[in-house]
A and B are shown apart, each in its own frame.
Chain A
Amino acid sequence: MKKEINTKNKDFLTTLFKEYYFKNLGLLNPPIQMPNREFGFMTFDGKVIRHLSFSKLGSLKAYIIQNVPSDIFCSNAYYQFPTFPINEKGWKGADMIFDIDLNDLLLSCQKEHTFYICSNCNVVSRDYINQCYKCHNTTILKNTIPCFRCITSLKKETKNLIEFLKKDFGIQEKNLEVSFSGNTGFHVVVCQDNYMLLDSKSRSDVAGYLMGRNLTPESFGVRNDKGGYRIKIPLSGFSYGWRKRIVQRMKIPVSSDHLNKFIKKIGGYPSFKNEIDKIASEIGVKIDPQVTTDIHRIFRMVGSLNGKSGLSKTICYDLDKFDPMTDSCFFENDKSVDISINIPLKFHIKGKKYVLDKSISSVPVSVAVFLISKRLANVANYSS
């Protein structure tokens, strides 16, 4: 996505991002096997720089302070030669990564807080547009300010994922890293030896498992037979994984007789199949499968700022208590900036409610960084 940004805003964000990295360098944790990772950056002009390598945290920090990128990424993969082109890097394994994002949750509240913004002149619309009505530019950004309901749903989905990972995949707590992405989602990273070497095809199967895709009646021992059906309960029974979840939801005691009665009642094999599909897509985790399948991804680094929001990607030690708009916001509340906002807005930051109308307002730095990163406001006046 092209992401031009006006100079005043850019200068403002650069100054503050730099200040953040000065004060909070401690938040940037070196990834495991740092010298074997690929690093990537995005500049405030929207350029992506990839295939870099830093053997020590110190040199990465120096690079960040010097260049002040808008976003910082680190590969989930481990390479022999991280700076080489993809096919020559010498892949040695990769963490399993999961992305739970508002985009995949399809919540009804989205309409109330989603904005369409012209990438050229920052005109904002609450309704979907594919072309700017002012400058006719067709690159339109879509931004959202997650509401309380959004955050609650994201957390619920994240917990669902964690439960699957622990119960079905045997992932140990200590090998799980859960974090807020800094914008509209949560990330889960699994760093456990026995999953490191899975190829892309296998990871896609894992993603399908989590999402509840392709579960068949045959897996329950129910077979299509000349328009009717036959039942032969599998030796491995219904006491594990998906079969257990589905059978519990259908409230069927495990026996051929009960299963038979149930299938007969709902109308045979095809209805049984539909019922399974329906329940599976309800219980399944709404992850972005492309992220999980990618074994060469550069993934946002914990402790770095998300250029789309100015919030930091933060580890959640206690998911229930975690409040993104407070715990991931590291900018000051006691200094003010004048900003002009492009549309009336209502939101919370650091426990305070803001209601802004369409004019110039004086707001704390924390609010200004957030709204400017979201492209919903412009700097009117700021002296550091």
Chain B
Amino acid sequence: MSIILGKDDLAKYPFLEEAGTYVRESHFDLDDFNRSEFLHIIERASKRIEFALIQGKVFMDLEKYDIELFTFLVSLIMMKYIYEDSAIKKFSLFEAIRVERFLISDLLKEKDLRKKNLLISRIFRELFQLDVDLDTKKNNLFKMNISNYLDRATQFNEIEWKLINRAVDNGYVYLDVDETVRLIRYEIYKLMYNKIKNMNITKIPEQIRFHATLIKNKLIPTIKYTKNTTDLPPCIKKALEFLNKSENLPHSARFMLATYMLSLGKSIDEVVSLFQNAPDFNEKITRYQVEHLAGKKGSQTKYSVPACSKLVNENLCYATIDCKGITNPIQFGRNRK
């Protein structure tokens, strides 16, 4: 008996080939989206996007597979219409995290070993060319060869991803479910991003355009510090670069960045919005933390920017010649005309 992925699986992983086949075989036309039966799907797609772009939350609702497949499709079309690259990036990240969560829970819960292996093979092997095996003799850990691991893990900056902090044996790295799935976050992200970017639609249905425009108008224009970055100290510039690439920043770096921006007199809103691109951005938590640093919450003390010596210790310093003679990033550029 061969085993296949069920429709419930497609609802969670709508980027799999079978999902596309299903949509194609349902003989439906883009113009159908203008019909009123589809309105709830479009509204659902709007909500999914707003969750990511405005509230900074992962949309974890799960409906019947046909609703999910169409919602997914509509949200991609809407993002195509919204067009702005930073928004597409952000949406792709939240979609990646959504997939990540489903995948982790499926891999943890699934009792049927064949089903589990199928999921691994479809997603890891076929989609991302990552050879992962379940090692039932070793605590059900996932194993992959060292080079496959390194190709992905070297993108992360956290020390925990260094090979030395992993269980390594005989050419393989052993990871638990969370770690294994985390390793492909960037690839899922890229998959989503490319899906939107490469989508070729000649005429976007009116009803979709309307809802997409509503969202577009709600987007706060993101504050970009790209213009005057020459005035920023290298450590701050580097942290902003990471954020722009939507890479994760260690807490020490977030602390540095937030205290620095506050010391420049930026508002809480401005500082919060800086972190919008962080893969795990949560507006509420970020706002609370920034207010705390600004002395508006808790102990009421304003936190100062950490000294260069501390940043050096935390591996956050990227000193250049312009850093000569300063002991705190806030002194950067003060002596220049």
Residue from B151, B160, B171 within 8 A of A219 (CB atoms): B160
Q: Is B170 an interface residue (CB 8 A)?
A: yes
Q: Is the CB of A241 within 8 A of B150?
A: no
Smallest Cβ-Cβ distance to B174: which chain A residue: A236
Looking at the complex, which of B161-169, B233-241, B247-255 is the stretch in contact with chain A?
B161-169
Contacts of B151 in A (CB 8 A): 198-199, 202
Residue from B165, B168, B174 within 8 A of A214 (CB atoms): B165
* Docked CA distance A216–B145 (Å): 22
* Docked CA distance A205–B153 (Å): 10
Q: Is the CB of B159 within 8 A of A214?
A: yes
Q: Is the CB of A201 within 8 A of B154?
A: yes
Smallest Cβ distance from A160 to chain B, in angstroms? 15
Q: Is the CB of B163 within 8 A of A205?
A: yes
* Docked CA distance A213–B175 (Å): 20
Q: Is B301 an interface residue (CB 8 A)?
A: no
Q: Is the CB of A219 within 8 A of B165?
A: yes
* Docked CA distance A76–B133 (Å): 31
Q: Is A212 an interface residue (CB 8 A)?
A: yes
Q: Is A243 an interface residue (CB 8 A)?
A: yes
Contacts of B172 in A (CB 8 A): 170
* Docked CA distance A219–B145 (Å): 19
* Docked CA distance A111–B260 (Å): 50
**Chain B contact residues: helix, strand, loop or mixed:** mixed
Residue from B147, B153, B160, B164 within 8 A of A194 (CB atoms): B147
Smallest Cβ distance from A161 to chain B, in angstroms? 15
Q: Is B139 an interface residue (CB 8 A)?
A: yes
Smallest Cβ distance from A230 to chain B, in angstroms? 15
* Docked CA distance A212–B165 (Å): 10
* Docked CA distance A139–B164 (Å): 40
Which residues of chain B (28-64) have a CB below 8 Å from chain A?
none
Q: How many residues of A contact B (CB 8 A)?
A: 32
Which residues of chain A (335-361) have a CB below 8 Å from chain B?
none
* Docked CA distance A212–B151 (Å): 20
Q: Is A54 an interface residue (CB 8 A)?
A: no
Contacts of B176 in A (CB 8 A): 234-236
Q: Is B141 an interface residue (CB 8 A)?
A: yes
Contacts of B16 in A (CB 8 A): none
Contacts of A205 in B (CB 8 A): 150, 153-154, 162-163
Q: Is B191 an interface residue (CB 8 A)?
A: no
Q: Is the CB of A208 within 8 A of B171?
A: no
Please, what's the 1-or-0 string for A183-216, where 1 marks a CB less than 8 Å from any CB in chain B?
0000000000011011101100110110011111
Smallest Cβ distance from B196 to chain A, in angstroms? 28
* Docked CA distance A352–B76 (Å): 80
Q: Is B73 an interface residue (CB 8 A)?
A: no
Q: Is B243 an interface residue (CB 8 A)?
A: no
Could you say which of B154, B159, B175, B176 has the most chain A C-beta atoms within 10 Å of its C-beta?
B154
Q: Is the CB of A209 within 8 A of B141?
A: no
Q: Is the CB of B167 within 8 A of A241?
A: yes
Smallest Cβ-Cβ distance to B146: which chain A residue: A169
State whether A243 and B167 are in contact (beta carbons under 8 Å apart), knowing that A202-B150, A205-B150 are contacts in the complex. yes
* Docked CA distance A322–B207 (Å): 80
Contacts of B168 in A (CB 8 A): 168-169, 209, 240-242
* Docked CA distance A168–B163 (Å): 11
* Docked CA distance A36–B131 (Å): 29
* Docked CA distance A234–B167 (Å): 10
Which residues of chain B (103-161) have a CB below 8 Å from chain A?
138-139, 141, 145-147, 150-151, 153-154, 159-160
Contacts of B170 in A (CB 8 A): 167-170
Smallest Cβ-Cβ distance to B169: which chain A residue: A240
Q: Is A177 an interface residue (CB 8 A)?
A: no
State whether A214 and B167 are in contact (beta carbons under 8 Å apart), knowing that A197-B147, A235-B141, A236-B139 are contacts in the complex. no
Q: Is the CB of B160 within 8 A of A218?
A: yes
* Docked CA distance A199–B141 (Å): 26
Q: Is the CB of B174 within 8 A of A208?
A: no
Could you say which of A194, A209, A236, A240 has the most chain B C-beta atoms within 10 Å of its C-beta?
A236
Contacts of A201 in B (CB 8 A): 154
Contacts of A171 in B (CB 8 A): 171
Please, what's the 1-or-0 string for B60-73, where 1 marks a CB less than 8 Å from any CB in chain A?
00000000000000
Contacts of A215 in B (CB 8 A): 164-165
Contacts of B162 in A (CB 8 A): 205, 208-209, 214
15 interchain pairs (CB within 8 A)? A169-B146, A169-B171, A195-B146, A198-B151, A202-B154, A205-B163, A206-B150, A208-B163, A209-B162, A216-B165, A219-B165, A219-B166, A235-B176, A236-B167, A236-B174
The 6 closest A-B pairs by CB, nearest first: A170-B171, A236-B167, A202-B150, A219-B165, A241-B168, A240-B169
Q: Which residues of B contact A (CB under 8 A)?
A: 138-139, 141, 145-147, 150-151, 153-154, 159-160, 162-172, 174-176
Given contacts A234-B176, A236-B166, A241-B169, 19 further A-B contacts (CB under 8 A): A167-B169, A168-B169, A194-B146, A198-B150, A199-B151, A202-B147, A205-B154, A205-B162, A208-B162, A216-B165, A218-B160, A235-B141, A235-B176, A236-B174, A236-B175, A236-B176, A241-B167, A242-B164, A242-B168
